[in-house]
Structures are given as structure tokens and as C-alpha cells.
């Protein structure tokens, strides 16, 4: 059984989720991002409109521009790295709020296209704010199993649509890479959500996570000074030793 999540309870849900995700601020705001802050319109992106494509291109350029300021001219990461980061960050902005809300409270957020707006960090590019539309189909669901399944379903409906069609000029990205990221991001988000809610999964030995490998590559190793992450599929394909780098899309330390 479910009933609408709105008003003060929706704001409470956003506040509690935000306290569990150090790099992201989840808020309630009109879906049109009326503040004028540069943002990504998820409805436009999912529909593949020119506006959505332009916003993704601007996001990739923002990331690349930050790297140009950070790294020497001869050590710039190739274009496919920014393209991968942006897709991963887009999926993060859907998965982490949905997974955390379903664990820290009885909430199922609406993360459908148009139900949220993503604001990338102005210099680093990661999604530092997500604004939820107050009139969207957010729900209160008492049964934990139903809640988790519904949260994942909502995430996948949006994520698979965007990842399936995602493309960047001059970049080759296979469907296995793109759709694999959908699975990888949900795995990591749901794992963090369980830990944040006090589940015993947070106390499992680190070796348990070492047994898991991503289906996709985050390409963090392509950044100057970085190394292959512990969950990189390249470890198996190329026999690369594991490191202690945390698996997942690159974000500020939590």
C-alpha cells in the first residue's frame, strides 16, 4: 500500500538523504530550475531533444575545462573519459537519492524524466544538487521489499533509456559499457544505502567487495596520477593487480 509523499514530509526525506550523501544536496524545487543555475533537464535528455543533447555536451565541456585547468597540456585525459564520467554522474544523480530514500525512510522517490533536475558542480562537474519536482509521483511505501523493488524499477526505467541512447561526438562507447554502468551504479548506490541505514552489510569484510567487478569501466585510471580501481573489469581482462581505490564514479571524498 502506498500514499503520496509531499509537502513537509518530502522536504524531510530530502534533508535526511542529503545528510547521507556528502557530495550531493537533494532539495525540493520546481522542475524548471527557476533559479537560473546551469542545470540538466532530465526530460529533455531522456527524450533526446536538441536541448537535452546541448546540455549534456555543455556538461562534458565543463568537465574537460576543469581538467584543462588542473592538468598539464600534455597529460589531458582523452574525450571518452569525460563522456563516461558524465554518463556515470547522470546515473548517480538518479540512483543515490532513490536508493537512500528507500532505506533511510519509507519513501520511494519519483526519478522519472522531468521529475528531477540535475545541477552539475560549476567547476568539478559532479552532480552537487538534485532538485525534485514537488508535484511528481513520490510515494510512502511501508513494506521494505516493495519499496526497494519499486525504487530500483523507477531508477532503471529512466537510466536504461538514457544510457541506451547516450552518445558523444568522436567517442565510441559500446552498449555493454553504457548499460553496464546502469547496473554498476545501482549496485554501489544500494550498497551505500544499506550501510547508511545501519544494515549489517556495512560491516562485511572488505574482501566481499573485492569479489565484485564492475560491468563497465569508470576510466578513473586515465586521469594523471590515478590507478585502476579495485572493481575494474580490466583486472580480469588484462591481469592488472588490484589497488585500494574505491570503486565507483569519481566524486569528492565522502
Answer whether residue 99 shows pLDDT above 70: yes
Answer whether residue 138 shows pLDDT above 90: yes
Q: What is the pLDDT of residue 220?
A: 87
Which residue blocks in 48-78 are alpha helix, DSSP H? 50-70
State residue 217 phi and psi, 5-degree precision. -110, 130
In this prediction the pTM is 0.89
Answer whether residue 61 shows pLDDT above 90: yes
Pair type for strands 127-132 and 116-120: antiparallel
User: Who has greater pLDDT, 131 or 232?
Assistant: 131
Q: What is the pLDDT of residue 244?
A: 44
Residue 122 and residue 140: Cα distance in Å, rounded? Answer: 33
Kindly report, residue by residue over 117-127, the tens digit of the pLDDT. Answer: 999 999 899 99
Kindly provide the b/e burial profile for residues 177-189, where b requires at least 16 CB atoms within 10 angstroms of the residue's own CB: bbbbbbbbbbbbb
Q: What is the pLDDT of residue 237?
A: 60
Contact 31, 113 (CB under 8 A): no
Q: Which helix (H) or strand (E) holds 96?
A: helix 79-104
Pair type for strands 25-28 and 107-108: unpaired
227 exposed, middle or buried (CB, 10 Å; 0-12, 13-18, 19+)? Answer: middle
Q: What is the pLDDT of residue 145?
A: 96
For helices 79-104 and 50-70, give the axis angle rounded to 10 degrees: 110
Kindly report, residue by residue over 149-188, the tens digit of the pLDDT. Answer: 999 999 999 999 999 999 999 999 999 999 999 999 999 9
E strand residue ranges, 47-161:
107-108, 116-120, 127-132, 139-141
Over residues 79-99, the mean pLDDT reads 97
User: Who has greater pLDDT, 50 or 249?
Assistant: 50
Amino acid at each position: 500500500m502506498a500514499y503520496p509523499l509531499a509537502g513537509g514530509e518530502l522536504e524531510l526525506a530530502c534533508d535526511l538523504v542529503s545528510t547521507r550523501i556528502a557530495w550531493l544536496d537533494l532539495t525540493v524545487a520546481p522542475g524548471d530550475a527557476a533559479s537560473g543555475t546551469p542545470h540538466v533537464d532530465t526530460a529533455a535528455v531522456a527524450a533526446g531533444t536538441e536541448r537535452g543533447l546541448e546540455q549534456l555536451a555543455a556538461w562534458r565541456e565543463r568537465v574537460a575545462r576543469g581538467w584543462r585547468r588542473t592538468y598539464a597540456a600534455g597529460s589531458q585525459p582523452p574525450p571518452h573519459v569525460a563522456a563516461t564520467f558524465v554518463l556515470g554522474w547522470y546515473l548517480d544523480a538518479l540512483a543515490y537519492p532513490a536508493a537512500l530514500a528507500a532505506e533511510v525512510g519509507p519513501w520511494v522517490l519519483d526519478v522519472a524524466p522531468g521529475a528531477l533536475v540535475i545541477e552539475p558542480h560549476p567547476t568539478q562537474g559532479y552532480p552537487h544538487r538534485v532538485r525534485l519536482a514537488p508535484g511528481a509521483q513520490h510515494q510512502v511505501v511501508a513494506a521494505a521489499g516493495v519499496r526497494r523493488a519499486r525504487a530500483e524499477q523507477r531508477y532503471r526505467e529512466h537510466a536504461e533509456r538514457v544510457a541506451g541512447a547516450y552518445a558523444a561526438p568522436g567517442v565510441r562507447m559500446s552498449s555493454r559499457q553504457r548499460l553496464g554502468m546502469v547496473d554498476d551504479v545501482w549496485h554501489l548506490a544500494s550498497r551505500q544505502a544499506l550501510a547508511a541505514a545501519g544494515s549489517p552489510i556495512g560491516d562485511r569484510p572488505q574482501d566481499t567487495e573485492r569479489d565484485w567487478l564492475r560491468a563497465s569501466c569508470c576510466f578513473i585510471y586515465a586521469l594523471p596520477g590515478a590507478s585502476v580501481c579495485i572493481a575494474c573489469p580490466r583486472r580480469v581482462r588484462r591481469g592488472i593487480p588490484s589497488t585500494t581505490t574505491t570503486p565507483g564514479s569519481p566524486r569528492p571524498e565522502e
